[in-house]
Structure 1
Amino acid sequence: MKVMVNSKSVDLDVPEEMPLLWVLRDVAGLTGTKFGCGMGLCGACTVHVDGQAVRSCITPIGSLAGKQVTTIEGVGATAIGQRVQQAWVNEDVVQCGYCQSGQVMSACALLAEKPKPKDSDIDDAMSGNICRCGTYVRIRRAIKSAST
């Protein structure tokens, strides 16, 4: 099976039911996407599939034929990704950092859909991403800073 990951074609010989998270981490060597809960509830494993934020821990690789997967390693190649990553640095968002790849991916998907999000838009888009360090105020500031 071939899947596009970060704009590169990747040949995979894995079971179709294998979660995308483990394909990325264990097969493709892209370890920026993190395992959190394994049930799609915490957001640590968020990646983009055709531009939409999805939880890679519950997305079977077999459902991705012909689709484009973007991970934290590839999102910086986009203008939105660059703005979000710079805003994260400028606002000093990261504390422990474990959840941040998922946070960044969700923020990028939000800004692609709504370039000037309201607070309620940010709350809705980010509500599925848990930060145990509680950096939510800095995350919101960074998203506003990265908006156009």
Structure 2
Amino acid sequence: MNYEETFVKTPCPVARACAVLGDKWALMLVRDAFDGITRFSDFQKSTLAAKNILTTRLKKLVEDGIFMTRPASDGSAYQEYILSDKGRALFPLIVCLRQWGEANLFAPGETYSVLVDNETGAPVEKMQVRNAQGEIIEAEQSRRIPMTK
């Protein structure tokens, strides 16, 4: 069994998610799709990924059900990559990564992009983990247990 097969068969949901999304290209493509990018050439311009890498990652994301393809909306011979329901469910993950990056990876005075609410124009509130009662909890206030789906 190779390394990736081990991740796919593990009972750990984080390891399985890493098997699908565990490289920067996959996450950048999902980010770009949330920003409205659908075309191969536009993904390439945004990510600066080599064509072979981009082709491989998009193919895997389609196979894994994160993206779907459809004929281009302009009637051309191209196809578009759009997020599936499974892919759109990654929005909180992308927001968490963005907010972590905003807080930890920029020097004071350095410019960065911020996610804002379209309706109000205000920055999106910081995401936090909450318990069933709605109270914010930290890592040491949680643990993992086995569960059957």
Flag whether TM exceeds 0.5 (same fold).
no
Q: Which has the higher contact order (CA 8 A, sep 6+)?
A: 1
Q: State the TM-score, normalizing by the size of structure 2.
A: 0.24
Larger Rg: 2
